[in-house]
Amino acid sequence: MNRLFSSRLLPLLATALVLLVLFGAAGAHYEHFFSARVVLNLFKDRAFLGVIAIGMTFVILSGGIDLSVGSVMACSTVLLASLIMERGWPVPLAMAATLVLGAAFGGAQGWIIHRYGIPAFLVTLAGMFLARGTAFILSSRSLEIRHAFYAKNSAWGLPLGEGLTFTLGPMVFVSVLAVAMVVAHGTRFGRNVYAIGGSESSAALMGLPVGGTRIAVYALCGGGAALGGILSTLALGSGDPTRGMGLELDAIAAAVIGGTVLTGGRGWMVGTFLGVLILGTIKTILDFEGSLDPAWLRLASGGLLLGFILMQKVIAIRSRET
């Protein structure tokens, strides 16, 4: 029992427990909460956040932070919408271009951070403004996407019976999660990310490619944000320069609640998945409540984030003592 508590798995167990308690309490309190429809909607609603949070987890594992994801996502939705609707690009080509540009933007941030030793939060804070402003340059208002591809694919999915479908968004989310778990825990690149987050100088002394890995990590995060943007255009049928305000915090919160330590080097991809589900459950509860002020969503996610960070602190202190 004691070993279980001092083990590194404790944060993950706590996260799973919080999710179960939250979901159980909500299920007991509200009728119809325990239903496939609610769970599916939760997945559909949070798919883009999930993809972005996975990219963020890579960055945090490497000891960095990326505050630009919300803006990059918004910029991607507008870019995609204008490429399809105003330039007449074929949809797959436009999506590929959006992904590449998102990854390139992230990679450029990683390069500046690594090459010039400027703090990550500052570079990505500037990136946040750059991407948000660029989104407004591309279009100052929401752009509707009217295209046969979207009409066909936004509702497409695996039928699960009872009129429910496992749509494209959640499908992409789950596949990205699976790939990310393999990459983070089973490849050389993944181990390099953990090593750099654990101690950059040790990693460099061991001859690991610190610079390349760091740039790749930020490129992954930028690409994840662009993919999140693509998913959000699929779900909402439009590109909007104001979308994703404050999303960076949700992504960070999902990673931290899932047990990823903010100083880097420790964490799990599956934890981020649980973190996204917890945030989604809180939002669903607020939706069910209806009359509740949206301000509570911010207070709740702020409080939850703080609680989990404090728990990580306590665990770190206890494991140092033993």
Partner 1 sequence: MNRFRTPLLWPLAALVALLVFNALASPGFFDVEWKDGRLYGTVVDICNQGARVPMLLALGMTLVIATGGVDLSVGSLMAVSGAVAAVQVNAGASLGQAVGLALLLCSGLGLVNGVLIAKVRLQPIIATLVMMVAGRGLAMLLTGSQMVPFKHEGLTFLANGAVGGLPVPIPLVLGVALLAGVALRGSAWGLFIEATGDNETASRLAGLPTGGVRLLVYAFSGLCAGMSGLLEASNIAAADPARMGDTRELDAIFAVVAGGTALTGGRFSLAGSLVGALLLQTLTLTLYNQNVPPAVAPVPKALVILVVCLLHSPKLREQWGRWRSPSPA
Write out the residues near partner 1 by the rule CB under 8 A: 65, 112, 115-119, 121-123, 125-130, 132-134, 136-137, 140, 241, 246, 249, 252, 262-263, 293-299, 301-303, 305-306, 309-310, 313
Q: Which residue has the tokens 């999506």?
A: 95
Residue number with CB closer to partner 1 (27 or 211): 211
Which residue in this structure is represented by tokens 């990550």? 120
Q: How far is the CB of 170 from partner 1 (least distance, A)?
A: 26
Question: Which is nearer to partner 1, 171 or 262 (by Cβ)?
Answer: 262
Measured from the CB atom, the residue of 128 and 176 that comes closer to partner 1 is 128
- CB nearer partner 1, residue 24 or residue 307: 307
In the bound state with partner 1, the residue whose beta carbon lies nearer, of 65 and 80, is 65
What's the CA gap between 136 and 214, in Å, rounded?
A: 29
Nearest approach in angstroms of CB 253 to partner 1 is 8
Beta carbon of residue 308, minimum distance to partner 1 (angstroms, whole number): 10
Q: Which residue, 239, 218, 177, is CA-closest to 46?
A: 177
Please tell me the distance from the alpha carbon of residue 307 to that of residue 155, in angstroms, as a whole number.
Answer: 38
Distance of closest approach, residue 134 Cβ to partner 1, in angstroms:
6
Tokens of 215: 């740039």
**Given the complex with partner 1, which of 81 and 112 has the nearer CB atom?**
112
Counting DSSP H helices and E strands in the chain, the numbers are 14, 4
CB of 309 to partner 1, least distance (A): 6
Shortest distance (Å) from residue 101 CB to partner 1: 16
* Ordered DSSP codes for 237-287: SEE-TTTTTTHHHHHHHHHHHTT--TTSS---HHHHHHHHHHHHHHHHHHH
Report the distance separating Cα 89 and Cα 226, nearest Å.
17
Distances from the Cα of 138 to the Cαs of 74, 133, 244, in angstroms?
A: 11, 9, 16
Residue 144: CB minimum distance to partner 1, A: 19
Q: In this complex, which beta carbon is closest to partner 1, that of residue 7 or of residue 140?
A: 140
Give the helix, strand, coil percentages of the chain, each rounded to 5.
75, 5, 20
